[in-house]
């Protein structure tokens, strides 16, 4: 296939994706604004504008994979309605050659979407949560993602943290366990302060020793120090995993595992940062296989119905994979990448059958 024809197909595909994404994004934002209009009455216009600029970034990441697969069906249907698709096939251009430029373009879009999510959409999502709480008084599930993590573990020490913020870590209880998992010592302190070299200092410590005779010995110290296996055991970052960068997600996974906390959500978010944008390319392959069937009518309505069906299948695979990973039935990487693999396999099989029949 000539370079001119490839550019023509790519241009038509990009135009279809842009049109679809703009239409879906506009409909979503209008519905969202109408649903929340009562929240914005009396609010500063600048806050509302900032909120929706952030929502555009977040929503674009969520909707663009669906627009990418819908665009493939629309572009191929347009070629068929113009008679150009039949002309290409009559001179020996295979369905695989027709689809290849679109798939390369979709893969590039998926990679760009991953970068956009990392650098723009993730911070925008965190800003949305902040604006909804501080400007519009809507808490939602803020407490679930942003509350202080109260229970932590490091080595044989278990910590209960009352509050943690910019002013420090306060109201701390340390349970020191023996190798046999019995309680050796309990330390209640007013404040915990990290020191260089992996040490921590407890201020206003009240120590209960369960190892001596008599069974319980109570002592008070103004300050006491101890060392943790990981000096950053308290460097857990609050917030939704999807709003963190890939490097932060990897670090938080390690710290949470050290602290004995679940890491599945963070692992899913880290792998999903790359797998979910590529779902658009996999969906485009499947939608293209459906659109290239010889008996298929060259109607945009058919393309939209097929695209919506593929979108529903894509969404269902993602939900099932995520649910299985969260319930620890499968590993988090499998939950993120298996839906992509299933779509690629189904699309490749369908395209092979179309090419074989032509």
SS (H, E, C) 168-220: EEEEEEEEEECCCCCEEEEEEEEEEEECHHHEEEEEEEEEEECCCCCCCEEEE
Average pLDDT rounded to a whole number, residues 317-337: 93
Q: What pLDDT, in 10s, does the model give residues 251-278? A: 888 878 877 778 999 999 999 999 999 9
User: Nearest 5°: CA angle at 202, between 201 and 205?
Assistant: 150
Q: What pLDDT, in 10s, does the model give residues 285-315? A: 999 999 988 888 888 889 889 999 999 999 9
Residues in a beta bridge with 183: 177
pLDDT above 70 for 74? yes
Q: Could you tell me which residue, 339 or 215, shows the higher pLDDT?
A: 339
The packing angle between helices 95-116 and 332-357, to 10°, is 160
Dihedral of the alpha carbons of 278, 281, 284, 289, in degrees to the nearest 10: -110
| C-alpha R_g of the chain | 27
Q: What pLDDT, in 10s, does the model give residues 189-234? A: 888 777 766 667 888 888 888 876 555 656 666 667 766 544 455 6
| pLDDT given at position 203 | 84
Q: Is 74 helix (H, G, I), strand (E, B) or coil?
A: helix
H/E segment holding residue 31: helix 3-35
Q: Where are the alpha helices (DSSP H) in 36-44?
A: 37-40
Burial annotation 276-292 (CB, 10 A radius, 16+ → b, else e): bbbbbbbbbbbbbbbbb
Determine what percent of the chain is predicted with pLDDT higher than 70.
Answer: 87
Q: What pLDDT, in 10s, does the model give residues 123-177? A: 999 899 889 888 888 777 766 666 656 677 777 788 887 776 656 677 888 888 8
* Model confidence, pTM: 0.80
Instruction: From 112, 194, 129, 125, select the one nearest 161 (Cα to Cα).
Output: 194
| pLDDT given at position 13 | 95
CA distance 307 to 178: 60
pLDDT averaged over every residue in the chain: 86
Residues in a beta bridge with 157: 154, 176
Q: What are phi and psi of 329, to 5 degrees?
A: -80, -30
Residues 6+ apart with CB under 8 A from 263: 252, 253, 256, 257, 332
Instruction: From 9, 105, 101, 97, select the one nearest 351 (Cα to Cα).
Output: 97
| pLDDT given at position 231 | 46
| pLDDT given at position 275 | 94
From 1-10, 89-98, 213-222, the region with the lowest mean pLDDT: 213-222
| pLDDT given at position 164 | 65
CA distance 215 to 208: 10
Average pLDDT rounded to a whole number, residues 58-81: 93
Dihedral of the alpha carbons of 284, 290, 294, 297, in degrees to the nearest 10: -100
The packing angle between helices 264-291 and 300-326, to 10°, is 160
| pLDDT given at position 325 | 94
């Amino acid at each position: 296939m000539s370079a001119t024809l490839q550019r023509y197909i790519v241009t038509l595909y990009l135009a279809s994706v842009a049109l679809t994404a703009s239409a879906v994004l506009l409909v979503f934002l209008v519905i969202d604004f109408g649903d929340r209009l009562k929240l914005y009455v009396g609010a500063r216009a600048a806050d509302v504008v900032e909120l929706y600029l952030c929502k555009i970034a977040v929503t674009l990441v969520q909707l663009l994979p669906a627009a990418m697969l819908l665009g493939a069906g629309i572009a191929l249907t347009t070629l068929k309605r113009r008679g150009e698709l039949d002309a290409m096939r009559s001179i020996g251009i295979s369905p695989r050659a027709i689809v290849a430029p679109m798939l390369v373009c979709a893969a590039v879009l998926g990679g760009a979407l991953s970068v956009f999510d990392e650098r723009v959409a993730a911070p925008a999502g965190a800003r949305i949560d902040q604006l909804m709480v501080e400007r519009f008084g809507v808490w939602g599930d803020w407490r679930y993602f942003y509350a202080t993590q109260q229970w932590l573990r490091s080595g044989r020490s278990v910590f209960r943290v009352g509050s943690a913020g910019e002013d420090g870590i306060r109201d701390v209880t340390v349970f020191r366990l023996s190798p046999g998992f019995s309680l050796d010592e309990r330390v209640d302190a007013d404040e915990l302060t990290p020191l260089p070299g992996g040490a921590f200092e407890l201020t206003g410590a009240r120590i209960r020793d369960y190892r001596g005779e008599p069974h319980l010995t109570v002592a008070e110290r103004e300050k006491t120090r101890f060392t943790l296996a990981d000096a950053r055991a308290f460097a857990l970052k609050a917030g939704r995993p999807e709003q963190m960068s890939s490097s932060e997600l990897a670090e938080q996974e390690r710290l949470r595992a050290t602290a004995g906390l679940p890491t599945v959500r963070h692992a899913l978010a880290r792998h999903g940062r790359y797998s979910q944008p590529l779902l658009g390319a996999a969906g485009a392959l499947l939608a293209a296989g459906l659109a290239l069937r010889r008996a298929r009518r060259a109607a945009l309505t058919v393309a939209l119905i097929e695209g919506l069906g593929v979108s529903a299948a894509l969404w269902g695979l993602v939900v099932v994979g995520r649910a299985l990973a969260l319930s620890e039935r499968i590993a988090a990487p499998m939950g993120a990448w298996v839906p992509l693999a299933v779509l690629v396999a189904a699309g490749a099989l369908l395209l092979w059958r179309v090419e074989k029949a032509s």
